[in-house]
């Protein structure tokens, strides 16, 4: 929520009063969502449901830590302040990494076009790999941040500077450190998710185009059959060879269009079955 005020003190007091309330509401809904996913087996039976549960769990931890930091940062010591800052960094990054995993899973599912249910053992292995990536990478980043923050001052490096004034990034290098250890990583994840989204759009549009070509092929086959049958509607009987030729022409038309949609080759005029000979017989 963005609050715009002309005076600084009323804005600060309004933020101090509304911010914890909004964080509690968000945490409550996240807790309800996690409860539903955990209690209903169908919601977490598949990999995507487990990924959503993990994403919500990371967000819930982040929001609870954020509430504690906002309300009790002045009452904890330096070690507790740094610890909460590291937990908040890890949980927020884990939420974005899980979002990246869900985008990748949707992209990979549509790209591979898997048919039928996935074996349970393969599904469990895939979720383990997702968990290793989504929890492991933020954990490594948080550990590196703590190690760099504990280095001697004579070593020139961009430090997170947890707990100097608040239980978050701060200090003279605060603007640089938060981009190196937090915002920059999130920016890369968001860019990758946008690329996944664009490719998913392309896959869906290509599938829709293929479906339209197949429908057009089926309609073309029916039109050829109706035109051929109308040539013999006044006759007592339709020659067997004409009926066979009509059916064969319809099937050939459908096959030609299917080859067009499957291989992406240009449809030449020689691939379209001609019915002029049928009219002249």
Q: What is the pLDDT of residues 232-255, one digit of tens each?
A: 554 544 444 444 444 444 444 444
| Cβ pair 246, 229 in contact under 8 A | yes
Low-confidence ranges of the chain (pLDDT < 50): 1-7, 234, 236-281
Q: How much is the pLDDT for 13?
A: 72
Q: Helix crossing, 184-231 with 78-112: angle to 10°?
A: 20
Calculate the alpha carbon distances from 268 to 211, 254, 259 in Å.
20, 14, 12
* In the chain, domain spans: 8-172, 210-280
The closest alpha carbon to 21, from 66, 73, 56, 85, belongs to 66
Q: Helix crossing, 120-149 with 47-72: angle to 10°?
A: 30
| 8-172 is a CATH 1.20.1070.10 domain | yes
Tell me how far apart the alpha carbons of residues 67 and 84 are, in angstroms, rounded to a whole number.
11
The structure tokens listed for 242 are 């004409």
| Cβ pair 165, 154 in contact under 8 A | no
Q: How much is the pLDDT for 228?
A: 60
Query: Full-prediction pTM beyond 0.85?
Result: no
What pLDDT digit, counting tens, does each position of 135-171 carry? 999 999 999 999 999 988 888 888 888 888 788 887 5
| Cβ pair 69, 161 in contact under 8 A | no
| Cβ pair 195, 209 in contact under 8 A | no
């Amino acid at each position: 929520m963005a609050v715009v005020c002309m005076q600084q003190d009323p804005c600060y007091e309004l933020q101090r009063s509304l911010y914890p309330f909004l964080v509690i509401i968000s945490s409550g809904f996240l807790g309800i969502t996690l409860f539903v996913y955990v209690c209903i087996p169908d919601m977490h039976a598949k990999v995507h449901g487990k990924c959503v549960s993990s994403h919500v769990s990371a967000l819930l931890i982040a929001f609870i830590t954020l509430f504690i930091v906002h309300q009790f940062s002045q009452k904890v010591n330096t070690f507790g302040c740094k610890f909460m800052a590291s937990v908040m960094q890890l949980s927020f990054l884990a939420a974005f990494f899980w979002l990246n995993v869900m985008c990748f899973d949707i992209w990979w599912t549509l790209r591979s076009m898997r048919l039928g249910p996935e074996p349970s053992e393969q599904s469990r292995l895939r979720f383990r790999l997702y968990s290793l990536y989504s929890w492991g990478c933020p954990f490594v980043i948080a550990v590196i941040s703590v190690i760099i923050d504990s280095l001697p001052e004579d070593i020139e490096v961009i430090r997170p500077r947890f707990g100097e004034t608040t239980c978050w990034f701060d200090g003279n290098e605060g603007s640089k450190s938060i981009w190196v250890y937090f915002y920059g990583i999130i920016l890369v994840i968001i860019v990758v998710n946008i690329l996944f989204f664009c490719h998913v759009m392309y896959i869906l549009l290509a599938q829709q185009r293929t479906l339209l070509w197949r429908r057009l092929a089926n309609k073309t086959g029916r039109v050829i059959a109706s035109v051929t049958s109308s040539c013999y509607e006044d006759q007592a009987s339709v020659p067997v060879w004409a009926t066979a030729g009509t059916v064969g022409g319809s099937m050939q038309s459908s096959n030609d269009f299917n080859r067009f949609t499957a291989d992406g080759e240009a449809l030449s005029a020689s691939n379209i079955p001609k019915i002029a000979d049928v009219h002249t017989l």
